[in-house]
Amino acid sequence: MSCVQTLRELGYRMTPQRQAILEAVHTHDDHFSTEEVHEEVRARYPQVNISTVYRTLELLKELGLVTQTDLGEGILRYHHIDKGHHHHLICENCGAIIDVDESVFSPLKRELLQDYQFKANMSHFAIFGRCAKCQR
Amino acid sequence: MSCVQTLRELGYRMTPQRQAILEAVHTHDDHFSTEEVHEEVRARYPQVNISTVYRTLELLKELGLVTQTDLGEGILRYHHIDKGHHHHLICENCGAIIDVDESVFSPLKRELLQDYQFKANMSHFAIFGRCAKCQR
DNA sequence: CGCTTTATTGCAAAGGGTTGCAACAATCAA
DNA sequence: TTGATTGTTGCAACCCTTTGCAATAAAGCG
Ligand SMILES: [Mn+2]
Ligand SMILES: [Mn+2]
Ligand SMILES: [Zn+2]
Ligand SMILES: [Zn+2]
């Protein structure tokens, strides 16, 4: 089901701003930033304020339609949930980013549920450390 | 070995500001914020700027003397490495914080090292999700 | 001790993100 | 179609954190 439908059914209103933001979110395959979405939206609706983009992305995150991740750049990046689940290992020394499949976290997720009855939301993780090259 | 010694041996200079910050860091058993450290330091040296506290805590983090964690409050919190390792499960719904031992992450850490030669720095994690009460 | 070197600081500005508020507009019922 | 309701937006102000820069001062050496 489309994001537009989901929002509508949950009682949220569909504004031109939200529609444009949703379209921008869907055209990106990679990890997009708020600023990038804002630029695309502004190409069509120049008056749209960036706080609207922040608020909309926050809403989409709360509804589980996008994931939010801090890759260590000083900004937050987003990822449409339809584009697949994966995580990132980030080298604190050289900045290298290694992608890992979400299955790596499955045992941990299972243990947290069994031992703590905690349902971890691990849809897009960034783990910092040292890559192979950068260890001594 | 004391933090003061470590800093000195690495070639960093020991200033009254740094000494006061280190003392504040050591008196806290819990997760302290930059602001809290700044207040304690200012009680003795009123002219110390908060950016110095930010810079010093960042340095201590880079040297592995403290851990930095975002518990979802909108601020960063720190933890002296001597006070033991543990992690937190944070409920996105009710805000409950469940402490978990660092051993929960050992298998994952091992797997990342074996499969990706990646040495993960998992000294103080915050995992968001839903606690037992808040699921359904 | 005095001098040189250069790491560190205070300050102000900036950057990313959030928030209060009044104006606006999507929605729905009449 | 109109009006009432109330969710949403633009804007400005703010919060936390980082950063450039010139002034300061710690450290080491003669
Ligand atoms: Mn990703
Ligand atoms: Mn902790
Ligand atoms: Zn590396
Ligand atoms: Zn809860």
User: What pLDDT, in 10s, does the model give residues A50-68?
Assistant: 999 999 999 999 999 999 9
User: Tell me: the pLDDT tens digits for B82-132?
Assistant: 988 899 999 998 889 999 999 999 999 999 999 999 999 988 899 999 999
DSSP A18-43: HHHHHHHHHH--S-EEHHHHHHHHHH
Residue closest to A69 by CA, chosen among A131, A129, A123, A130: A123
Helix, strand, coil % (nearest 5) of chain B? Answer: 45, 20, 35
CATH topology assigned to domain B3-80: Arc Repressor Mutant, subunit A (1.10.10)
Q: Say which amino acid occupies B129.
A: G
Question: Which residues does B1 contact at the CB level (< 8 Å), separation at least 6?
Answer: none
Rg, chain A, Cα only: 17
The reply to whether the CB atom of residue B74 sits less than 7 A from any atom in nucleic acid chain D is: yes
- Calculate the dihedral angle through the C-alpha atoms of A56, A59, A64, A66, rounding to the nearest 10 degrees: 20
DSSP single-letter state for residue B101: E
Residues of B in contact with A131 (CB under 8 A): 117-118
Rounded Cα–Cα distance for residues A87 and A80 (Å): 13
pLDDT value at residue B88: 95
User: Tell me: the pLDDT tens digits for B34-72?
Assistant: 999 999 999 999 999 999 999 999 999 999 999 999 999
Task: Provide the CATH number for the domain formed by A86-135 in this structure.
Answer: 3.30.1490.190
Asked whether residue B1 carries a pLDDT value surpassing 80, the answer given is no
DSSP helix/strand/coil, A52 = helix
Q: Domain residues of chain B, as ranges?
A: 3-80, 86-135
Asked whether residue B23 carries a pLDDT value surpassing 80, the answer given is yes
Q: How much is the pTM?
A: 0.92
Residue ranges for chain A with pLDDT beneath 70: 1, 136
Q: Are strands A126-130 and B66-70 parallel, antiparallel or unpaired?
A: unpaired
Question: Which residues does A9 contact at the CB level (< 8 Å), separation at least 6?
Answer: none
A77: number of CA atoms within 13 Å, CB side?
16
Mean pLDDT for the stretch of residues B71-83:
94
Scanning B45-121, the segments in alpha helix (DSSP H) are 50-62, 106-116
User: Tell me: the pLDDT tens digits for B5-17?
Assistant: 999 999 999 999 9
Residue B131 is nearest to which of A105, A118, A127, comparing CB atoms? A118
* Beta carbons of A103 and A86 less than 8 angstroms apart: no
DSSP helix/strand/coil, B90 = strand
A122 and B127 within 8 Å at the Cβ level: the answer is: yes
pLDDT value at residue A93: 86
pLDDT value at residue A136: 67
Asked whether residue B79 carries a pLDDT value surpassing 70, the answer given is yes
Residue A130 is nearest to which of B119, B128, B131, comparing CB atoms? B119
